Amino acid sequence: MNILLLGSGGREHAFAYKIAQSDKTSKLYIAPGNAGTSSCGENVSINSNDFIEVKNFSLSNDIDMLVVGPEDPLVNGIADFFAEDKDLKDIMLVGPKKLGATLEGSKDFAKDFLNKHNIPTARHKSISIENIQEGFDFLDDLQAPYVLKADGLAAGKGVLIIDNVDEAKTSLKDMLNGQFGDAGNTVVIEEFLKGIELSVFVVTDGRDYKILGAAKDYKRIGENDTGLNTGGMGAVSPVPFADKDFMDKVEKQVVIPTVKGFEKDGIDYKGFVFIGLMNMNGNPYVIEYNVRMGDPETEVIFPRIKSDVVELFEAISTQNLSNYSIDIDERTVTTVMLVSGGYPEAYQKDKEITGIEDCQDCIVFHAGTKKNESKIETAGGRVIAVSAFGKDIKEALKLSYLNADKINFEGKYLRTDIGLDLL
Ligand code: AMP
Ligand code: GLY
């Protein structure tokens, strides 16, 4: 089978790593990929948001399957574009159509979906400039801290958590007045949920589902969860506090009603569902949906999938998941992200990366890297994720950190406390 994978991060290297292991894969192309994906297949420089370009490439290279890594092409409707084009409709596609992708693209839409299907989530109100007074009144009703979310995609920056009610009201006004551009034309005000966060990853063919596992990521740049938010500085899977009892509740109260909700609402969803959850006193509450895998969560979830992922993708896109059984490794995987100095603010690029060849007993997933002749150089804020297996978190972390120390580039930074709160 010829497969085209869209994306360029650590997530896509983890996808490519597993796809390349499948006997079903004849040729794998990654667009645009990174220095790591080029050892799993061929990187091609096409723009995944230019659907005509993706179409032309797919037709001229006999692509049988399109796997979409990031959310943007999904929110922009790449799955609809393929389904509606007579030359492309037979290409298997992993990723929901635009309506399903709106679960990530609009927080207001996601909250309506959650409430409609009785899935536990924080109380909320959606506010636009016309009903701003309702927003002020709702804030007066809530207890601090106050959660304000720009409705649309805001590059992970659109959520504010504010301690003081007057500041929350000012921020509400600022958001509605364009602080996050059009993404903030509607603002979701939410009750604050106090608990421990984790994510659960699910695949669905729109009728059936399989749970890939739970992961915890570490979003802040600084030790002990301090400083600015990042795309993720490390991750652990499985999560010890997501025990059988909790995961049973997640399945019953969240996963099943979500997949049934897709069917009831006529949402044609074939792909990944990334469910951001708060564990409050042993009960799950949905914080958000994403319509893709997480990064760096994929770097701990995918290595644990023992089954052939191309067969899994095939089952998703041909609605055959009910006949598919998935085998997940019981061991723990941890990943530690190496980032460029300055990240998540302005950072330098084009720094030579050394030491990757000295790594042992781990998987080095590339994120922001590129090849420059025989050298590998940094090309992004998050550079490399070092994933390792262990019988428990401690053993896995030891290998992740041992190998993370072997890799060097100017300005390299990492958190040294990934997973320690779970020990
Ligand atoms: P979101 O983009 O909706 O995932 O929000 C970003 C982050 O804000 C989440 O990962 C949580 O840490 C936090 N957050 C969002 N909503 C809430 C909430 N209702 N209560 C507490 N924390 C929240
Ligand atoms: N690590 C969080 C995300 O992928 O959105």
Residue 250 sits in a domain whose CATH number is: 3.30.470.20
**If 0-12 CB within 10 Å is exposed, 13-18 middle and 19+ buried, where does residue 402 land?**
middle
Spatial separation of the C-alpha atoms in residues 129 and 383, rounded to whole Å: 40
State yes or no: pLDDT of 161 exceeds 80: yes
Residues 35-79 have pLDDT tens digits of 999 999 999 999 999 999 999 999 999 999 999 999 999 999 999
For residue 253, give the amino acid letter: Q
279 & 378 share domain: yes
The mean-pLDDT minimum among 92-96, 110-114, 180-184, 287-291 falls in 180-184
| CA distances, 231 to each of 116, 156, 252, 297 (Å) | 30, 8, 29, 10
Distance (Å) from CA 150 to ligand 1 centroid? 12
Distance (Å) from CA 143 to ligand 1 centroid? 16
Residues with Cβ within 8 Å of 243's Cβ and at least 6 positions away in sequence, in order, are none
Ligand 2 atom with the shortest distance to the CA of 290:
5
3-state secondary structure of 415: coil
- Of 76, 94, 112, the position where a domain reaches its end is 94
State yes or no: pLDDT of 178 exceeds 90: no
Distance (Å) from CA 69 to ligand 2 centroid? 12
- In which residue are the tokens 């007045």 written? 177
176 & 220 share domain: no
271 & 143 share domain: no
Q: pLDDT averaged over the chain?
A: 96
Task: Say what the pLDDT of residue 405 is.
Answer: 98
149 & 217 share domain: no
Spatial separation of the C-alpha atoms in residues 410 and 295, rounded to whole Å: 23
Q: What is the CATH number of the domain that holds 74?
A: 3.40.50.20
Ligand 2 probe mutation, 217, 233, 291, 301, most atoms within 8 A of CB = 217
**Is the C-alpha dihedral spanning 336, 337, 342, 343 positive or negative?**
negative
211 & 328 share domain: yes
- Of 44, 71, 94, the position where a domain reaches its end is 94
Pocket lining: 7 vs ligand 2, CB cutoff 6 Å: no
State yes or no: pLDDT of 401 exceeds 80: yes
Q: What is the CATH number of the domain that holds 148?
A: 3.30.1490.20
**pTM, two decimal places:** 0.95
Number of domains in the chain: 3
Task: Say what the pLDDT of residue 180 is.
Answer: 85
What phi and psi values does residue 252 have, to the nearest 5 degrees? -70, -45
* Domain assignment of residue 113, yes or no: no
* Domain assignment of residue 304, yes or no: yes
- Of 185, 210, 226, the position where a domain reaches its end is 185
Task: Say what the pLDDT of residue 179 is.
Answer: 87
Pocket lining: 299 vs ligand 2, CB cutoff 6 Å: no
**Stretch 320-332: mean pLDDT, rounded?**
96
163 & 224 share domain: no
Spatial separation of the C-alpha atoms in residues 353 and 252, rounded to whole Å: 46
Task: Say what the pLDDT of residue 132 is.
Answer: 95
315 & 399 share domain: yes
* Domain assignment of residue 347, yes or no: yes
Spatial separation of the C-alpha atoms in residues 391 and 284, rounded to whole Å: 26
Residues 296-312 have pLDDT tens digits of 999 999 999 999 999 99
Q: Which ligand lies nearest the alpha carbon of 231? A: 2
224 & 334 share domain: yes
Measure CA of the first residue to CA of the last residue in the chain; give whole Å: 42
- In which residue are the tokens 């159509």 written? 97
240 & 169 share domain: no
More confident site: 157 or 300: 300
Task: Say what the pLDDT of residue 157 is.
Answer: 76
Domain that includes residue 403, residue range: 196-422
Instruction: Say if CB 351 and CB 357 are below 8 A apart.
Output: no
Distance (Å) from CA 41 to ligand 2 centroid? 24
* Domain assignment of residue 106, yes or no: no
Q: Which ligand lies nearest the alpha carbon of 215? A: 2
77 & 216 share domain: no
- Banded model confidence at residue 385, pLDDT cuts 50, 70, 90: very high
243 & 320 share domain: yes
Residues 225-251 have pLDDT tens digits of 999 989 999 999 999 999 999 999 999
* Domain assignment of residue 109, yes or no: no
What phi and psi values does residue 121 have, to the nearest 5 degrees? -160, 170
